[in-house]
């Protein structure tokens, strides 16, 4: 039995039953037709321009450029299609400043437009434009120029290699839009998963959780660790599908040159082994598939309950969370939680945030266990 009276999590292959799920997802997905309307329509977030029923899709954006290719050894340029001159950042309506749709530890994301010509005529497609903050004096939330170049190269290299329905697509890069090279991806209507749930409180959350698990399982099958899985790095497209985004801290297993600020992430999602490393251990080696799984468990709690993970302990700030986790505390199974989460799902979440990494299930086992 678990500490909350729920039966322990049974890994893949067990006969445990999860809560019943309504197969109806929020929103409907258009069926493909001869005009190339497909599942990526929802990810892109719409189009405008000439009056024809043609949507520019991610593969069409790449195809309209010179053949993209990874950089050669020793080169420091991003992977993917060079979209320079074909993307502009939009201003807020009626204002003369840029339309910000999100930000991260070292970057800002803006709403933009991509212009292209296809057989049916010119098309304008909404995109997300990610720019890194460049430091001139070591300011907080900024990176030195040489670190920005390395980070953009690493992020685009990883993102370029990914292709899965629960991973946000990557279009390419663009120069001349800001202090750094910009990374271009589909525009998802500025909907992080928590914003989506807030706007749709009756939505069945279980399929969203499975979407995230499937995306994470795919990453791990490619030996990619996300390293920053949290509610701000999961979007929901117009078809109601959860997709993982922001690979700025992601690493490939075995990358000896990987380096990232440990506390640049969110302490509430950080596994205990990341919070008290010993001097003998390389901090960057502590990020693992198992630490991603821990973050998945915490993220699941927040999605199901709508509460910050450690609010039940009356703490909210990172400096309060760290000693709490180090002492073995985790989110509590309150009466509210029992109304939101089935016994089987709670047991799965407890397994994900086990203190010992080797006791946590794999992302693939989680996918197989979710119903």
Structure tokens at 52: 């024809």
CA 172 → CA 183, 184, 347, distances in Å? 6, 5, 40
How many degrees, rounded to 5, is the angle at CA 25 between CA 352 and CA 212?
25
Return binding residues: 130
- Phi–psi pair at 344, nearest 5 degrees: -65, -40
- Phi–psi pair at 220, nearest 5 degrees: -65, -30
The answer to whether the beta carbons of residues 167 and 244 sit under 8 Å apart is: yes
Return binding residues for ATP: 130
Q: Nearest CA to 60 among 43, 76, 75, 77?
A: 43
Q: % helix / strand / coil in the chain, to the nearest 5? A: 35, 15, 50
CA distance 209 to 19: 13
- Phi–psi pair at 197, nearest 5 degrees: -65, -40
How many degrees, rounded to 5, is the angle at CA 103 between CA 97 and CA 104?
150
CB atoms within 10 A of CB 146: 9
Q: Find the radius of gyration of the CA atoms of the chain.
A: 21
Structure tokens at 323: 């000693």
Q: Is 45 left (phi over 0), alpha (psi -120 to 50) or beta?
A: left
């Amino acid at each position: 039995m678990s500490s909350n009276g729920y039966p322990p999590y049974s890994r893949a292959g067990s006969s445990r039953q999860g809560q019943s799920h309504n197969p109806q997802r929020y929103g409907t997905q258009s069926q493909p037709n001869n005009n190339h309307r497909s599942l990526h329509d929802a990810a892109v977030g719409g189009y405008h321009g000439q009056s024809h029923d043609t949507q520019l899709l991610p593969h069409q954006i790449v195809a309209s450029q010179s053949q993209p290719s990874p950089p050669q050894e020793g080169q420091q340029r991003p992977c993917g299609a060079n979209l320079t001159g074909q993307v502009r950042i939009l201003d807020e309506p009626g204002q003369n400043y840029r339309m910000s749709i999100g930000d991260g530890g070292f970057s800002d994301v803006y709403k933009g437009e991509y212009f292209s010509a296809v057989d049916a005529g010119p098309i304008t497609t909404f995109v997300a434009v990610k720019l890194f903050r460049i430091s001139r004096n070591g300011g907080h939330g900024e990176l030195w120029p040489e670190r920005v170049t390395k980070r953009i190269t690493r992020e685009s290299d990883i993102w370029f290699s990914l292709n899965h329905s629960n991973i946000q697509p990557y279009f390419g890069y663009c120069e001349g839009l800001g202090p750094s090279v910009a990374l271009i991806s589909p525009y998802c209507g500025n909907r992080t998963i928590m914003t989506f749930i807030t706007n749709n409180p009756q939505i069945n959350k279980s399929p969203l959780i499975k979407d995230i698990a499937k995306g994470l399982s795919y990453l791990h099958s490619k030996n990619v660790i996300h390293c920053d899985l949290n509610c701000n790095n999961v979007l929901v497209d117009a078809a109601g599908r959860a997709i993982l985004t922001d690979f700025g801290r992601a690493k490939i297993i075995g990358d000896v040159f990987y380096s990232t600020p440990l506390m640049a992430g969110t302490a509430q999602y950080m596994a205990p082994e990341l919070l008290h490393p010993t001097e003998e251990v390389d901090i960057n080696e502590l990020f693992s598939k198992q630490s991603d799984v821990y973050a998945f468990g915490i993220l699941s709690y927040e999605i199901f309950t709508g509460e910050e993970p450690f609010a039940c302990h009356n703490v909210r700030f990172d400096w309060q969370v760290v000693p709490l986790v180090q002492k073995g505390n985790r989110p509590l199974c309150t009466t509210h939680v029992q109304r939101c989460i089935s016994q089987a799902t709670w047991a799965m979440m407890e397994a994900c945030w086990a203190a010992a990494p080797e006791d946590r299930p794999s992302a693939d086992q989680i996918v197989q266990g979710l119903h």
